[in-house]
Structure 1
Amino acid sequence: MREIQHPPHAASLLESMRSIGYTLESALADLIDNSLSAKAKDINIEFRPFVDPYIALIDNGVGMSPEVLESAMRHGSTNPLAARGIDDMGRYGLGLKTASLSQCRRMTVVSKQGNVVSAFCWDLDVVIKKGSWVMLALDSVDYEAVPHFSELMGQRSGTIVLWQNLDKLTAGEASAESALGDKMLYAREHLSLVFHRFLIKEGSKHRVNMSINGNPLAAVDPFFSSHKSTQPLDDDSFSVEGQRVLVKPFILPHASKLSTQEVLLAGGNEGVRNQQGFYIYRNRRLIIWGTWFRLARKDELSKLARVRVDIPNSLDHLWTLDIKKSAAHPPEAVRANLKRTVERIRAVSGRTIAFKGRKVESSEIVPGWHEILDRDGFRYDINRDHPLVKEYCRTLSPEEMSAFKLVLSVIESTFPADALYSRMAADVRPDFNADSVTDKIYILARELFSNMATDSVSRKRILATLHLIEPFSLHPELTKRIIEEYMS
């Protein structure tokens, strides 16, 4: 037996690796990972879609010496099995090169550390021409002509990653300018979500400034953790191979309590229902989201549930993390613990069906409808004990009362449950209690109290509890004004 050195054909391998599956946004996210590992506090992405289109990332991280940069430009520069620093965002030693060359044919890296500047370039056309792994070392005349070099020189340290000859981004597009602009707009949304925990101060971790063409990225919090109607559940944690995995569930507010913009942020084009599930973070960077890992089905019962899961980079080998850091699958030990979390969430977000047709009471508010649970499911009945209903019934004769009960039964039996379910499942914002109905409520109050004597016991009792009676309870400011007006 003898050994044969059998290196891959450089041009063929590099061209094949361009199809590894990177999108523009995932490629940019890989570059940002490198900047974060370099402790950058300011990361700016610049792109120009005209003349000679390019995309450049400029950071103010610690930079690299010529020796370190040359090594970093090597494909497979780091052993993925080697232990990494606790805050290291990398894994395979391929991201910088594969992410960049998936989007362009020429990638240049210029780095400054102290007073030393170094620059190297991979040009696929040069590799094809030479037929070998030829990388270009740039001299000062070359790298000083790199876009945004003056910005780098104005910093103590930092790095520029430049993409040129953007053949993949403009292929098949009628207008390269329009195509690049649209793709960068989507990339902005993606990066605002993936790095949202870096875009704010979190505990002892300082905020990182990120921008595209000078426009800052705003954090998109998928849990609406600062919204008053979000329900954060108790934290959980468990150990895997001596490493802690942290779990934090949230129940999002119902669509009726979110603005139109918030509904879009909660689900975007895919809808709230499809975004439910686990949100996996590796060193605070969002890796994968909107999946239950087959531990539960995506259904209406859990559509508002989202679970933040923090994993350390030391468990990458168990999560089968891919090169793009855009997919991960939990090992059995993790799945068993996450299954417990799923069951806890469903117990909170769903309702346990009770037999005997009992009413479901939720608060001291007097509802307009009662939810009735029985062996066959549930239904909604008009609350006959509602103060306004009872007050109206007092004015009816026995014959009129019989007819009124029949009307109520017709309304209950024709409740459009299927249509309502369809609308809510589609995340269409309900408009039952919008500002447009306030005039109707005011008219309702005027007609109610104008027919009651000012010293009436019923009038005083209803006014005293009006803020607890639907629909008045849904509009507290308006109800306060009504009470003040009719109590005077």
Structure 2
Amino acid sequence: MTDPASLTGSWQYDVPVTNSTRLPPDAGYAKALTNQGYGFEVAVADLIDNSVDAGADSVVVHFLRDANRIVSLLVLDNGRGMDDAGLDSAMTVGRRRNYGERALGMYGTGLKAASLSHARSLTVISRTKRSRAAGRKLTAEGIEDGFRCDTVDPDFAQRQIDTYDGLIEWHGTIVRWDRVRAFETVSSGQSEQFLSEAISRLEAHLGLYLHRFLSGSLKLDIAVWDVDTGDETDHIRVEPLDPFGYKVPGRAGYPKAFTAPVEGAGDVQLEAHIWPAKSKQAGFRHIGSLSERQGFYFYRNDRLVQAGGWNNLRSPEGHLSLARIAVNLPADGNRVFSLSVKKEGVQVTPAFTRGIETATDAAGTSFRTYLADAEAAYREGASRSAINRLPVIAPGKGFDPKVKRTIAEELPIRGGEEPISIEWVPLPEGRFFDLRRDEHTILLNRAFRDDFNDGRRGGSNDAPVIKALLYLLLQDFFGLGRWERSRADRIEYWNSILLASARAQRERRQRTTS
């Protein structure tokens, strides 16, 4: 074994080379590209990052389905778009483009890796103000065949753009996934449940990780189209899910700004928050388990890239579940902070934890004092008594996501019960609503739908006020064993009163428009 002392004075910090050889990637790289471990929601979020970088202020995630299955997924935006050269660059595997300081993209692999992790076919169609519609198609087989990229028929590209002319008027981009692995595993008759669950998870993920943009000018929608009928069967607006969106802090004097001297990154600013104990707000309860969501929330250019975790500072524990710290990654912190390609986690060097341990606020309060305050707020909250509200059955299909979220914040949800759905159907002239108790469904008379949507065509989550009122009125009527006469009588006179009210509203609307 070599004596380390013999290296003294002869150690070379750079390994010398004699020449270079270019080694293009083997076609087998396609398997690595399509196996990056992107979760579905993470992959879609990566596509939306590209839309934001392209200057889009409106993005739609569109699920396409037919009577039996889910067909495709599209992400559409009204950004700057790309011409032929831009499309070639975007679809080149391994090419990294130059990003601006405020860009959300980093590595140049997200479009291909995120898409081909879930779909065997990726198509990008785009148009700029100065170029016609053009498209490129990349498939798993094409990559294996020497990284072949196909040119989309220009007429088809234009027809796709024309289909979405309400969003893409002069410029924009469509990213389309076909042969999506998860969709192909959904059996006939199960697509409705799969879509409901997938959209719920996607809404929560996008609402959380893009919450700063959604609180600003970005409009983000998730929609479902039936390709056979052309009907839009579902449409929701994604709302910001702010992990720091409490109304009153859990401890007086918070949030507080701490400064951590971090070697290699300078002074890192920390915004330390304490949530109120037992909060039922969506930003606290609906973004994962409380143990996972305590700790650091790292942002890069206002985009959340890590939602909770202590990054080796300490282990999660119940007494710190109210503690959350917002950290904006410094532009010059690459020596300390390393962001994963999927943008869902940050690796730090020991310099970060050392800096946190010595962090103080302007008054000299230590970061350890903050942790002690968070623990105290938790213990005080646990000892307080609260009014017990009776549990309710969760609202399901047909209710606006904001309504469902608020109900879950305000009321305990009864477990083991199928959610209550609400839908517009033809009913006899003398009925405003009816019940299918065995299916947990409230039926609304379709004849009055336009009246509650100001004459406009409504979506599946329309008329939120009347639907919420009926839910509160009727949710106790489900899950009962014996149907009492008094309950049946209430259904009758409520119907009569609401029917008169609906007719009065129709007459008022007709007088206003005449």
TM-score range, shorter chain: 0.5 to 0.7
| Structure-1 residue corresponding to 2:102 | 87
2:35 is aligned with 1:35: no
TM-score relative to the length of structure 2: 0.61
Residues 160-189 of structure 1: CA deviation (Å, up to 9, x unaligned): 111111124443767355334422321111
| Structure-2 residue corresponding to 1:462 | none
Q: Contact 2:77 / 2:168 at 8 angstroms: preserved in 1? A: no
Q: C-alpha separation between the residues in 2 aligned to 1:336 and 1:143?
A: 54
One-letter amino acid of the counterpart of residue 285, structure 2: G
Q: C-alpha separation between the residues in 2 aligned to 1:251 and 1:228?
A: 6
Residues 182-210 of structure 1: CA deviation (Å, up to 9, x unaligned): 22321111111111111113xxxxx2111
* Larger Rg belongs to: 1
Cα separation, partners in 2 of 1:297 and 1:340, compared to 1, 3 Å: farther
Cα separation, partners in 2 of 1:314 and 1:34, compared to 1, 3 Å: farther
One-letter amino acid of the counterpart of residue 252, structure 1: W
Q: Contact 2:265 / 2:336 at 8 angstroms: preserved in 1? A: no
| Structure-1 residue corresponding to 2:373 | 348
One-letter amino acid of the counterpart of residue 343, structure 1: R
Q: C-alpha separation between the residues in 1 aligned to 2:49 and 2:83?
A: 19
2:210 is aligned with 1:159: no
One-letter amino acid of the counterpart of residue 215, structure 1: I
Using the TM superposition, give the Cα deviation of residue 314 of structure 1 relative to its aligned residue in structure 2, in angstroms: 4.8
Task: Among all aligned residue pairs of Structure 1 and Structure 2, give the percentage whose two residues are the same amino acid.
Answer: 25
Q: C-alpha separation between the residues in 2 aligned to 1:346 and 1:153?
A: 47
Matches within 5 A, 1:369-448: 432-434=386-388
One-letter amino acid of the counterpart of residue 77, structure 1: R
After superposing the two structures, state which structure 1 stretch, 141-150 or 106-115, moved more: 141-150
Q: C-alpha separation between the residues in 1 aligned to 2:73 and 2:161?
A: 10
2:236 is aligned with 1:215: yes
After superposing the two structures, state which structure 1 stretch, 272-281 or 332-341, moved more: 332-341
Task: Determine helix, strand or coil for the equivalent of 2:297.
Answer: strand
Task: Determine helix, strand or coil for the equivalent of 1:120.
Answer: strand
Task: Determine helix, strand or coil for the equivalent of 1:294.
Answer: coil
Q: Contact 2:124 / 2:136 at 8 angstroms: preserved in 1? A: yes
Aligned Cα root-mean-square deviation (Å): 3.2
Cα separation, partners in 2 of 1:92 and 1:118, compared to 1, 3 Å: same
Matches within 5 A, 1:206-285: 207-213=217-223, 214-227=235-248, 229=250, 232-237=254-259, 245-255=268-278, 258-259=279-280, 262=281, 265-268=283-286, 270-285=288-303
One-letter amino acid of the counterpart of residue 159, structure 1: T
Cα separation, partners in 2 of 1:345 and 1:2, compared to 1, 3 Å: closer
Cα separation, partners in 2 of 1:225 and 1:270, compared to 1, 3 Å: closer
Unaligned segments of structure 1, at least 5 residues: 202-206, 352-361, 363-419, 437-488
Task: Determine helix, strand or coil for the equivalent of 1:338.
Answer: helix
Cα separation, partners in 2 of 1:435 and 1:58, compared to 1, 3 Å: closer
2:36 is aligned with 1:20: yes
Q: Contact 2:272 / 2:323 at 8 angstroms: preserved in 1? A: yes
Cα separation, partners in 2 of 1:77 and 1:5, compared to 1, 3 Å: closer
Task: Determine helix, strand or coil for the equivalent of 1:146.
Answer: helix
Unaligned segments of structure 2, at least 5 residues: 1-17, 224-234, 360-366, 391-514
Using the TM superposition, give the Cα deviation of residue 271 of structure 1 relative to its aligned residue in structure 2, in angstroms: 3.6
Q: C-alpha separation between the residues in 2 aligned to 1:315 and 1:99?
A: 26
Using the TM superposition, give the Cα deviation of residue 434 of structure 1 relative to its aligned residue in structure 2, in angstroms: 4.8
Residues 87-134 of structure 1: CA deviation (Å, up to 9, x unaligned): 111111100111111110111111111141221110223444xx2111
Q: C-alpha separation between the residues in 1 aligned to 2:20 and 2:314?
A: 51
Task: Determine helix, strand or coil for the equivalent of 1:343.
Answer: helix
Task: Determine helix, strand or coil for the equivalent of 2:93.
Answer: coil
Cα separation, partners in 2 of 1:68 and 1:318, compared to 1, 3 Å: farther
The count of aligned residue pairs is 348
Q: C-alpha separation between the residues in 2 aligned to 1:126 and 1:158?
A: 26
Residues 41-96 of structure 1: CA deviation (Å, up to 9, x unaligned): 111111123356111111111122221221111122216xx6x4221111111001
TM-score relative to the length of structure 1: 0.64
Cα separation, partners in 2 of 1:300 and 1:125, compared to 1, 3 Å: closer
Residues 288-336 of structure 1: CA deviation (Å, up to 9, x unaligned): 1221112123224322110001114553464221211112112333322
Task: Determine helix, strand or coil for the equivalent of 1:85.
Answer: coil
One-letter amino acid of the counterpart of residue 255, structure 2: L
Q: C-alpha separation between the residues in 2 aligned to 1:8 and 1:435?
A: 62
Cα separation, partners in 2 of 1:435 and 1:190, compared to 1, 3 Å: closer
Cα separation, partners in 2 of 1:332 and 1:166, compared to 1, 3 Å: same
Q: Contact 2:77 / 2:172 at 8 angstroms: preserved in 1? A: yes
Using the TM superposition, give the Cα deviation of residue 237 of structure 1 relative to its aligned residue in structure 2, in angstroms: 3.9
| Structure-2 residue corresponding to 1:114 | 129
Cα separation, partners in 2 of 1:234 and 1:87, compared to 1, 3 Å: same
Q: C-alpha separation between the residues in 2 aligned to 1:108 and 1:313?
A: 33
| Structure-1 residue corresponding to 2:344 | 326
Residues 223-281 of structure 1: CA deviation (Å, up to 9, x unaligned): 224336565332134576577643101000010xx34xx2x541338543332111111
One-letter amino acid of the counterpart of residue 24, structure 2: P
Cα separation, partners in 2 of 1:340 and 1:212, compared to 1, 3 Å: farther
2:203 is aligned with 1:188: yes
Q: Contact 1:230 / 1:253 at 8 angstroms: preserved in 2? A: yes
Cα separation, partners in 2 of 1:27 and 1:101, compared to 1, 3 Å: same
Residues 422-446 of structure 1: CA deviation (Å, up to 9, x unaligned): x95xxxx97544579xxxxxxxxxx
2:114 is aligned with 1:99: yes
| Structure-1 residue corresponding to 2:322 | 304
Cα separation, partners in 2 of 1:195 and 1:86, compared to 1, 3 Å: same
The structure with the greater share of residues assigned to helix is 1
Task: Determine helix, strand or coil for the equivalent of 2:45.
Answer: helix
One-letter amino acid of the counterpart of residue 90, structure 2: A
Using the TM superposition, give the Cα deviation of residue 348 of structure 1 relative to its aligned residue in structure 2, in angstroms: 2.0
| Structure-2 residue corresponding to 1:57 | 75
1:287 to 295, 299, 305: 305
| Structure-2 residue corresponding to 1:483 | none
| Structure-1 residue corresponding to 2:356 | 338
Q: Contact 1:275 / 1:289 at 8 angstroms: preserved in 2? A: yes
